Structure 1
Amino acid sequence: MKREEKKRITREKIIQSAMYLFAEQGYEATTVHQITERAGVAKGTFFNYFACKEDIFCDVQLMFAVEEVQKIKDKPGPLIPHIRNIIANIDHQLKLSRPLVLAVCQGNLTNANSIQNMVEQIEELTEALTEVAAVGQERGELIKSMPPEMIAELAIQTFLGARLLWSIGRGDEDLSGHMAITFELFFRSIAVHP
């Protein structure tokens, strides 16, 4: 097995272990030690891939979003309700609180490795969303006056911006409600209205 492939598999094991533990006992109760123990790697190995627990949490969210977005382009029916479900599921699945989201935002911007990792994850999500936007345009659901890449970029900006503002105390108390209102305005701007 090539070195890069081994690194990818190790990183994936760490992420999968963290996802399981976050879902099972919540983010705040999960420790790096528990994640490494479940993944079968040394604690030092964890820190070769992630600077802190917040980094892995960001990866989990983005990985979940990419997987879910890739699934919806082949689903029948309108795309926007499927996208709404993904947004709601991220929030419900991870039981997010304002302090947690703020810590994740801060953690993602603390060092060059965290920033680079986030950039790579966002690029992957942008590719997936671009494909979905193109399908939506082909189906006549989304406006064609904006390139699919721009729709994808704006969706990510909307998501990250809404999350950041919510984490510092702005918007609806409930994150799901805050995201629903924010994305309702976004969807209205990209949807073809009969």
Structure 2
Amino acid sequence: MNREEKKRATRKKIMDTALELFAEHGYEATTVHLITERAGVAKGTFFNYFECKEDVFCDIQAFWATTEFVKLKDKSGPILPHLREFLMEFVRIVPYTRQLVRAVFQSNLGNEKSLSNQQRMLEELKQILIPLIIEAQQRGEFTSTFPAEMIAEQAIQTYMGVLISWGMGMGDDKLNTQMAVSFELFFRSLQP
């Protein structure tokens, strides 16, 4: 294994371990110390890759979303069912609790670096979404009334809005139900 592969493997190990610990102990109770101890890496190694645990959480989301969105391009058949499944899988794979959602938003909005990282991640997500939306428009699955960029931005805003309102205790008790209902309304509005 060359140096770059080893760095990627170490980063992924830290992210996987953090995700396990977030699911087991909750976001607040998971510390950098717990993550490094279970991952078998030094604290200094952790800080070579991440500034804080909030950065780990954002990177987990970005890594998974980017990997899965790229796979959507290769799937045959209509795009809409695949996009729906992606969104629901994203909600299932990240161990969201209302407390975790509030903590992440508080961190992202209260820290310039975290906010910048979150904005970068969402912009990358938008750039991945745009070609899929264009293809769905060309196939007649989505209306062409609105530019693909606008639809991508609205999809992200819908997702983030559901997270915020759910984190505040609003909506259905289950995030996946709330997300499914919101995106069903969103996708119906895009049909020609």
TM-score, normalising length: structure 1: 0.83
Between the aligned partners of 2:87 and 2:58, the Cα distance in structure 1 is: 14
Corresponding residue number in structure 2 for 1:142: 142
Tell which deviates more after alignment, 62-71 or 17-26.
17-26
Deviation readout 1:117-150 (Å, 9 max, x if unpaired) = 1111111101000011011111111111111111
What runs of 5+ residues in structure 1 fail to find an aligned partner?
A: none
**Given the superposition, is the C-alpha separation of residues 118 and 16 from structure 1 closer, same or farther in structure 2, using an over 3 Å criterion?**
farther
Aligned pair partner of 1:13 in 2, 10, 13: 10
Look up the SS of the partner of 2:142 in the other structure. Answer: coil
Paired residue type of 1:131: P
- Which residue of the partner structure matches residue 66 of structure 1? 66
Matching of residues 9-158 of structure 1 within 5 Å:
10=7, 13-23=10-20, 26=23, 28=26, 30-36=30-36, 42-47=42-47, 49-158=49-158
Q: Tell me, which stretches of 5 or more residues in structure 2 are unaligned?
A: none
Residue 25 to residue 152, structure 1, CA distance change in 2 (3 Å) = closer
Aligned equivalents of 2:7, 2:113: Cα separation in 1 = 17
Alignment root-mean-square deviation, CA = 2.6
Q: Percent identity among equivalent residues?
A: 45
Q: Which amino acid aligns with 2:149?
A: E
Query: What is the CA distance between 1:47 and its match in structure 2?
Result: 3.8
The corresponding residue for 1:179 is 179
The letter of the residue matching 1:133 is I
